[in-house]
Structure 1
Amino acid sequence: MNELVLYAKDIKKYYQSVKAVDGVSIELYRGEVISILGPNGAGKTTTVEMLEGLRRSDNGEIVYFDKYTPLDKFVKEKIGVCLQENFFFEELTVLETLKLYMSLYEKNTDLDELVQEFQLEEKLKARVKHLSGGQKQRLAVALAFVNDPEVVFLDEPTVGLDPQARRHLWDVILKYKSKGKSIILTTHYMDEAHQLSDRVYIMDHGRVIAHGTPQELITSSGLNSVIEFHKDFAQLVDIEGIIISGEYAYVSVVDAVPVIEKLIRVNVKNFVLRHPTLEDVFLKLTGRKID
């Protein structure tokens, strides 16, 4: 097993009667990508903020590199953070912004390499206020790597990116992983979590309700096949275990034939039979999709 660079044990954060985080334990190893997934209100943002040192835990322990806390200056030099909402000095250029952030750390990554990796070459002289949403997002993620960090937190890093830019950022994340960087990812895209993550933690109601590799979670879920159809037909068929999310109904089955026959009898023509995905596991465990 690779070196353990971060672990949290039984961390908690309570607000009066609300248990925002209720005894969460997480491990992160060198050169690993983990995803923390959960519906709104599950406690994942509070958990990540405690790991980053932005919020103090009420209980438990968080340890970096076997002996440091998130509040130690040594750790702050070793981590990079891309928040879900980023605020820039709008009058600065992209290049000035990168150099400003680099000046805050003792160690820096190579500026030219960073600019190339995040496709910022053509925008170096542009003021931040003139960037598109996708360009600002690429800049925000780039800033998380300016100090050549060992642990990187990426909160919704591909929001606002077009499909091509999103895939490119996946490649960048995997490249940094291959260099031994350890990355904690939060995302609303299940395919992103599946493609990038070595392990996934699923949270709900302040607790980790499942964790493992994406394939382990799918295999252990007991899901064999999933049938998807419009929710309007859910009341017309006698099928146990139907979950409705948005406009569609989902049901996991061991034997698909009897279920398909029932759907046909009530004139359901547009349905999909497919293998289960990480999103199906999430739906089964939480009863809802990520909003």
Structure 2
Amino acid sequence: MTTTPVIEVEQLNVRYGDFHAVKDLSFQVRRGELYALLGTNGAGKTSTLETIEGHRQATSGRVRVFGTSPGDRRAVRPRMGIMLQESGFSPDLTVRESVRLIGSLTRRTDDADRVLDVVGLTRKAGTLVGQLSGGEKRRLDFATAVYGTPELIFLDEPTTGLDIQSRDALWESVDRLRENGSTVVLTTHYLEEAQERADRIGLMHQGRLPPGGHCRRADPDAARGDPVLAASGCAGGSADRHKSRRVAAHRDVRPAEGHVPAARLGARPRCRAQRPVSRSDPARRRVPCHRPYFRWELTMIAIARTELIQLFRNRLLLVTSLIMPAVVSGFFVYRHDAFATLGSLGYIAAVVMFTVGAFGLYTTAVTTLAARRQNLFLKRLRSTAASDSGILAGLLLPVTLLAVVQLTVVLTVLATVAGGPSNVFLLVVAVLATVAMMVGLGLATAGLTNSPEHAQVTTLPISLGVIAVSSWVGLSGTEELTLLKRLLPGGSATELVLNAWNGGAAVSESLLLLAPTLSWVVVAVALAIRMFRWEPRR
């Protein structure tokens, strides 16, 4: 029998500027128990929970989950299921697609249809998440949290918006998970719910657990007078458990003799570990089935696939990312004789490249990231075992590939009707460098953008700016104001396209023009690291 805590919190402090949200908080959660953390709004519950989940950095103190820092997502998240306070799902994905995506990113194995059947959403499996009711979204949230039967489950206000029948079904599922060995951490505003279900209750007030802040059972009469500092109701409270409780909090929770097997109850049977979970836990207990090696590219491909689906379901985004750049580029190609007299074929190629890059790639990338942040989908993805780089790569891969495909098609058509480039290699290099620059600028701009609507404003300076610089350089050349034109974003890339299409410049000299463009990539990535936000501003 193990006594190692699943969660250890020691002297935790969380600050937001001058506001001290959590103050010297210390507590433990033992294996197999249901621990409830209660408190009024602003008591510090959410900050505490997000720090334990790994969504937030502690200002000071020590937090360990399974003996590991919660920031080590690769080690911790496959064993952890998180039900967020808000749904955090993309409205353009179906219920089944959402469960499959989030489930696959947890590195646990399960069947999406089985999980949907457990939470009563089988008939809604093909429905878009945006068409679900509030209660149905909560059940979907619960489905992703319990996918693959994790060892540790966080339930943040799990029954908010649920009807009585759905609440009972949810708690029956929690009971089955506990019988199968899971540990549960609960936050709720329903004090009676915590009293009936929890093995221990922590009462937070102003960022602290005051003396007597842990109890076995809250007194509802005392709690109505002061729902947080109900110390008198906690001290010496009855330790009677809810009728479905099978064992005491300090013991490992295992299926009792004669219980129906977990698989028949709807909780997925777990795999047997090949070795102990840790040296301090010598018992061979059951652990969730999960993929020990979930490669970065698999994360990227799983997210990219759903992003591509969402792109083609969102008609407005489809217009801005595909149709509008294609129409503008087609106009330049159609009138290539007129534009060639103003500049050259290289000028047309450069303007087309930056039109697609600005509207088809840059604006779409910023809009996508802002939308995913606003509906908390970014936070949902980060609640899995996926890495930050894998998430961002998966989100941006579809729009990047579509932009490259558009450029390839348009430039091929231009070469067919008007004559091809003198150096295809230099043209390819220029296109790839421009794509990298626009992606980097998109990441940086997304940090300043609060919503998809706001993106229409924040992206205008860069979008119009690079097209203007491209036109300026393409029409006037770089004989005058050479340094200024090359240092502006898009200037050196435009000159590289002119050299590639029109010829007349040495390859070695042309490749030196990559330096300013790649410098903009470095600057943009540095700004993105500093400014990019995974959650909306509070």
TM-score tier, shorter chain, comes to: 0.7 to 0.9
Partner residue in 2 for 1:59: 60
Partner residue in 2 for 1:176: 177
Q: Who wins on radius of gyration, i.e. which is larger? A: 2
Q: Distance between the aligned counterparts of 2:215 and 2:155, measured in 1?
A: 19
Instruction: Decide whether the 8 Å contact of 1:194 with 1:278 is kept in 2.
Output: no
Q: Distance between the aligned counterparts of 2:181 and 2:111, measured in 1?
A: 16
Whether 1:282 and 2:227 are equivalent positions in the alignment is yes
Q: % of aligned pairs identical?
A: 36
Partner residue in 2 for 1:82: 83
Deviation at 1:175, TM superposition (A): 1.4
Q: Distance between the aligned counterparts of 2:20 and 2:90, measured in 1?
A: 36
Q: What per-residue deviation string (whole Å, max 9, x for no partner) do you get for residues 19-60 of structure 1?
A: 210011121122111111001111111011110111111111
Partner residue in 2 for 1:141: 142
Change (3 A) 1:117 1:124: same
Paired residue secondary structure (1:14): strand
Whether 1:45 and 2:46 are equivalent positions in the alignment is yes
Partner residue in 2 for 1:212: 215
Q: Distance between the aligned counterparts of 1:285 and 1:193, measured in 2?
A: 13
Instruction: Decide whether the 8 Å contact of 1:109 with 1:145 is kept in 2.
Output: no
Q: How does 1:197-276 map to 2 (within 5 A)?
A: 197-209=198-210, 210-214=213-217, 217-218=218-219, 276=221
Q: What per-residue deviation string (whole Å, max 9, x for no partner) do you get for residues 123-181 of structure 1?
A: 11112122111111100111112243211111111111111111211111121111111
Deviation at 1:18, TM superposition (A): 2.3
Instruction: Decide whether the 8 Å contact of 2:38 with 2:187 is kept in 1.
Output: yes
Deviation at 1:65, TM superposition (A): 1.8
Q: Distance between the aligned counterparts of 1:88 and 1:199, measured in 2?
A: 31
Paired residue secondary structure (2:209): strand
Paired residue secondary structure (2:40): coil
Q: TM-score, normalised by structure 2?
A: 0.40
Q: Distance between the aligned counterparts of 1:128 and 1:14, measured in 2?
A: 34
Q: Give structure 2 stretches of 5+ with no counterpart.
A: 232-538
Task: Count matched residues.
Answer: 227
Q: Distance between the aligned counterparts of 2:106 and 2:145, measured in 1?
A: 12
Q: TM-score, normalised by structure 1?
A: 0.73
Instruction: Decide whether the 8 Å contact of 1:78 with 1:147 is kept in 2.
Output: no
Change (3 A) 1:102 1:284: closer
Q: Give structure 1 stretches of 5+ with no counterpart.
A: 219-274, 287-291
Paired residue secondary structure (1:141): helix
Partner residue in 2 for 1:31: 32
Deviation at 1:108, TM superposition (A): 2.0
Instruction: Decide whether the 8 Å contact of 1:152 with 1:181 is kept in 2.
Output: yes
Q: Distance between the aligned counterparts of 1:182 and 1:91, measured in 2?
A: 33
Amino acid at match of 2:214: H
More helix by share: 2
More strand by share: 1
Q: Distance between the aligned counterparts of 1:96 and 1:283, measured in 2?
A: 40
Amino acid at match of 1:213: R
Change (3 A) 1:56 1:130: same
Q: Distance between the aligned counterparts of 1:86 and 1:103, measured in 2?
A: 18
Change (3 A) 1:284 1:75: closer
Q: What per-residue deviation string (whole Å, max 9, x for no partner) do you get for residues 55-83 of structure 1?
A: 111111111223x1001121122111111
Structure with the larger RCO, 1 or 2 (CA within 8 Å, 6+ apart): 1
Instruction: Decide whether the 8 Å contact of 1:174 with 1:196 is kept in 2.
Output: no
Q: What per-residue deviation string (whole Å, max 9, x for no partner) do you get for residues 93-148 of structure 1?
A: 11111111122132223434312221111111112122111111100111112243
Partner residue in 1 for 2:187: 186
